[in-house]
């Protein structure tokens, strides 16, 4: 309704003029005209007609004000709900575990790669599992795949866990270490992560990045 009013401002203005000025003027003119037909002769006065019309306008005004009040209340509720949702989301994010994955060493050319998963938040993570660990070649084929998964009961706030793979050495650039991880937060809600790192011979170890899967 309110969008329609905004789009038709000129029409609304003209209707307002007709309602406020046109109708009383029409009543005045009609009471000045003598039709000569008994059926059309008014049995009430112009003042009574105007009073009745004023009552109608007052009723319409009350209804419009009520609609405006309901509309404003709805807008206020929507804004309040949005703010509450944002606050809940921020509070939820503050209580989520956050991780980094850092290479720590190997037996040369990233063979038997050793890395740590750091919980850099102030919140504990439980039921951690690191799985689907692969080394993918630049040709997008699986060069090596771990036969085991790594599980941990808990990674406490600001602590880490160590993982040592038994992968073969890599002699060329562009091989990708890829793995999945999941855990539960303090609300027992599950979280899934994708971890990857590209290996370059000159850098000795892959530089890992971790991204939560929404």
Q: Is the pLDDT of residue 193 over 80?
A: yes
pLDDT at 75: 86
Residue 75 sits at φ, ψ, to 5 deg, of: -60, -45
Burial of 109 from C-beta contacts in 10 A (0-12 / 13-18 / 19+): middle
pLDDT in tens, 56-65: 778 777 887 8
The whole-angstrom separation of Cα 121 and Cα 123 is 5
pLDDT in tens, 86-139: 887 777 777 789 999 999 999 999 999 999 999 999 899 999 999 999 999 999
* Residue 70 pLDDT class (50, 70, 90 cuts): confident
pLDDT at 89: 78
Beta bridge partners of residue 211, listed in sequence order? 194
Instruction: Provide the terminal-to-terminal Cα distance of the chain, rounded to the nearest Å.
Output: 38
Cα 55 to the center of its chain, rounded Å:
48
pLDDT in tens, 98-113: 999 999 999 999 999 9
Q: Is the pLDDT of residue 10 over 90?
A: no
Average pLDDT value over all residues in the chain? 85
Strands (DSSP E) along 79-204, which ranges? Answer: 99-105, 114-119, 125-136, 142-145, 150-155, 160-164, 175-184, 190-199
* Residue 1 pLDDT class (50, 70, 90 cuts): low
pLDDT in tens, 150-186: 999 999 999 999 999 999 999 999 999 999 999 999 8
Angle between helices 23-32 and 46-94 in degrees, nearest 10: 170
Average pLDDT of span 185-205: 93
Average pLDDT of span 198-204: 92
CA 60-62-66 angle, to 5 degrees, is 115
pLDDT at 64: 78
* CA dihedral (6, 11, 17, 20) positive or negative: negative
Q: Is the pLDDT of residue 142 over 80?
A: yes
* CA dihedral (23, 24, 27, 33) positive or negative: negative
Using a pLDDT cut of 70, give the percent of the chain over it: 79
Q: Where are the domains of the chain?
A: 2-94, 99-213
Q: What CATH number does the domain located at 99-213 have?
A: 2.60.40
Average pLDDT of span 79-84: 89
């Amino acid at each position: 309704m309110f969008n329609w009013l905004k789009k038709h401002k000129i029409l609304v203005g003209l209707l307002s003029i007709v309602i406020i000025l046109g109708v009383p003027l029409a009543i005045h003119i009609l009471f000045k005209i003598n039709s000569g037909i008994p059926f059309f002769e008014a049995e009430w006065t112009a003042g009574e007609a105007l009073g009745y019309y004023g009552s109608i306008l007052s009723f319409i005004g009350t209804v419009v004000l009520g609609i405006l009040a309901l509309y404003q209340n709805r807008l206020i509720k929507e804004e309040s709900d949005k703010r509450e949702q944002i606050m809940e989301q921020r509070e939820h994010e503050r209580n989520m575990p956050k991780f980094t994955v850092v290479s720590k060493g190997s037996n040369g050319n990233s063979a038997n790669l050793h890395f740590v998963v750091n919980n850099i938040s102030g919140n504990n993570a439980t039921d951690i599992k690191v799985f689907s660990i692969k080394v993918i070649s630049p040709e997008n084929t699986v060069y090596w795949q771990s036969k085991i998964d790594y599980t941990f009961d808990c990674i406490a706030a600001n602590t880490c866990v160590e993982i040592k793979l038994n992968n073969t050495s890599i002699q060329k650039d562009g091989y990708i270490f890829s793995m999945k991880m999941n855990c539960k937060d303090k609300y027992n809600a599950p979280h899934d992560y994708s971890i990857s790192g590209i290996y370059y011979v000159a850098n000795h170890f892959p530089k890992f990045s971790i991204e939560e899967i929404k």
